[in-house]
Amino acid sequence: MRGYFGFGAEGISKPMNMGNLVRTAHAFGAKFVFTISAHYSVREGRSDTSKAPNHLPWYDWSSPEEMNLPDKCKLVGVELVNDAIELPSFHHPNQAAYIVGPELGSLSKKITEKCNYVIKIPTKFCLNVQIAGAIVMYDRIKTLGNFETRPGLPGGPKNEQ
């Protein structure tokens, strides 16, 4: 797969959620992780059993103004708002940083204004930040990876009936 991606959260406060998000990003091949205005304890997430900070750069920015992404990297907000692009219709940029909001809130106006795109997962209500992140990362590798086309019938490519 060409390109790279990073994944982060704004205003996240629960270490287990951030630990799960970072572990998932590491598993899906993220090149960096980040937080903006995060609670100081989010690095204590025992749920990151992969020890992602030992393998990936982790950037902690205290405000949206401090955020400094690589050149040509597009910021993609993940937020359940009416004018967001639905994930199944979104073409992922080759170079992207995805950001989810806090557990009990939304992405800030400052972050939303910095986003090149805002996408939403077509659900009836908000998901846990780690689950939302995992869905977005899976969709990225599914659409940008070199996988065989799904068969028209149940089963896999070698298991068609």
Mean pLDDT check: name the lowest of 52-61, 77-86, 115-124, 140-149: 52-61
Instruction: Supply the DSSP string of 71-94, one letter for each residue.
Output: TTPEEEEE---TTSEEGGG----S
Predicted pLDDT of residue 77: 98
Q: At what angle do helices 15-27 and 129-144 cross, to 10 degrees?
A: 10
pLDDT in tens, 53-98: 677 888 999 999 999 999 999 999 999 999 999 999 999 999 999 9
CATH architecture under which domain 4-144 falls = 3-Layer(aba) Sandwich (3.40)
CA distance 122 to 116: 19
Residue 160 predicted with pLDDT over 60: no
CA distance 138 to 156: 18
